[in-house]
Chain A
Amino acid sequence: MNRLTKIKVLAAPRQALFKLARAGIPAYGCKKQGAFFIFSVPDNFLKKVFAIFSSPCYNITVERKSAAARLKNFVAGRAALMAGCLLFAACAFLSNIFIFKVEVTGSGAYLKNSVLEIASSCGVRRWAAYGGVDKVSVISRVLELPSVTFCSVHKSGSVLYIDVQAQKEEELSNSYLPLYADCDGTVENIVAVCGTAIAEKGSFVKKGDALIAPYSAVNEGDIVPCIASGYAVISRTVQLSYAADSESRENLSAAYASALLYADGEIVRREHTVSFTSEGVVYNVELTYLHTVSINFE
C-alpha cells in the first residue's frame, strides 16, 4: 500500500530539495507547479518535513494523504461501523462452524425420529461443532434402517440436512405380489428371474391368473418368500368389426389399420371375413398378437 504523503509548499525547488537532502529525507515525485513545489515523502517523515518548513514564509499544505493514512482515518472515523462489520463476520464464521438445526428431508422423512436418534449417537446435535460429525457412520447406520435406499449428509449454513430416500410402502408391498395375467391368452414364453413360474408354456390363462409366484422352493418342499421378478409373453386373440360402404382393397387396409390400434406387441396372425349388409359391408378382423406382462423387471 502506498505510504507516501503528497505535500505542496510555496518555495523554490532548489531551496526545498536542498533542505530535504540536508535533513536526510527522501523525496519522490518532485515537480514544480507555478510558484509551488510539489513532492511526496514517506509518512514517517511528515513531522520532520513540517518542522523544516515551519517558518511562516513557507506556505506548506498536505496535498494528498497516503493511502495508508486515508485508510487509517477512514477506519478511525467509523470505529462503530468497523466493529459491527467485524462482529458480523465473526458471527457468520462461528455460525458456520456449529450446527444450529438438524433437518431430515427426502421420501424417508417419516423416519425422522429414528434418523435423529442415530445422528445424535454419532455426534450430530444442536450447538455441536460440525467438524465432530462422523458422516460415514451416520450414513451407514441410517442405511441399515428398513426400506431406506439412500442417505446423504450435507450442511448448508448452520443447518445440517440428512437426506433419506426410502422405498415407498406401496412399492414394497407390491413387490411381494405375484405376477398376474392381465388378459386371456396362451402363454408363449415365461421367464422368472426371481420367484416361481406357475403357468406353463403353451397353457391357456385367463385374466387374473397368477403367472409367477413370489416365493422360491428351496430343497424339497421348503418355500422361501421372495420378490417376484420376471415376465410372461401371452398370445392374445382379439376380434373386431369395421364397417365400410363397399368391399375394396383400401377398405380392407383401413380395417387392418384400425385393428393395429389394439395390438401392443408383435402380430403373429391376422384373418378377416366379409359380411354384406344393406348399407355396405362389414369386415370382421381376427388378430393374434404377443402381449408381454412383467413385474419388477425392466
Chain B
Amino acid sequence: MKLVEQILNELGAEDRDAFTVCPGKAAYFCNVKAVEELSEERVVLLCGRRVITAEGAGLSVGEYFCGDMIIKGDIKRLTVEQAYKN
C-alpha cells in the first residue's frame, strides 16, 4: 500500500480519488456519492465530479457504507467520465 500512496502523491492525487479493481472478482471504490444505475451487466457510480461506469457480468453491490463501495462480479470494462452540470 505504501507504493500506491507514493504513486498517488507523485501524481498529486488523493486516496479517495483512487479505486482498485481485482479482475474477474471485485472492485473497490471510494467517495461514492450516488448509484445512478444498478444491474447485473452495468453499474454507474457518481464519485464526486466523475461518473464511473463498470460493465461486466454478474455485478452486484457487495457493500456500501460511508461512500465506500465494493462491487462484486466480473468487471470487463471500466469507464471514467467527467460529470457536467446542466
Contacts and interface: CB of A to CB of B under 8 A. Distances in A.
A17 B64 contact: yes
Main secondary structure of the interface of B (DSSP, over half): strand
B81 interface: no
Contact of A32 (B39, B62, B63): B39
Contacts of A24: 66
Interface in A14-41: 14, 17-18, 20-21, 24-32, 37, 39
Contact of A30 (B34, B38, B67): B38
Nearest to B70: A28
A20 B66 CA distance: 10
A29 B65 contact: no
A123 interface: no
B36 A27 contact: no
Nearest to A33: B40
A28 B35 contact: no
A27 B61 CA distance: 8
- Size category of the binding interface on chain A: 10 to 19
A30 B61 contact: yes
Given A27-B65, A31-B40, A13 B35 contact: yes
B38 A27 contact: no
A280 B35 CA distance: 124
Contacts of A18: 34-35
A24 B68 CA distance: 12
Nearest to A20: B64
Contacts of B60: 29-31
A20 B36 CA distance: 14
B44 to A, nearest CB: 9
Contacts of A39: 61
B14 interface: no
Contacts of A31: 38, 40, 60-61
B37 interface: yes
A20 B35 CA distance: 11
B64 A26 contact: yes
Contacts of B65: 25-27
19 contacts: A14-B36, A17-B34, A17-B35, A17-B38, A17-B61, A18-B34, A20-B64, A21-B34, A21-B64, A24-B66, A26-B63, A27-B64, A27-B65, A28-B64, A30-B61, A31-B38, A31-B40, A32-B39, A39-B61
Interface of A: 13-14, 17-18, 20-21, 24-32, 37, 39
- Ranked 5 nearest A-B pairs via Cβ: A30-B61, A26-B65, A13-B38, A31-B60, A17-B35
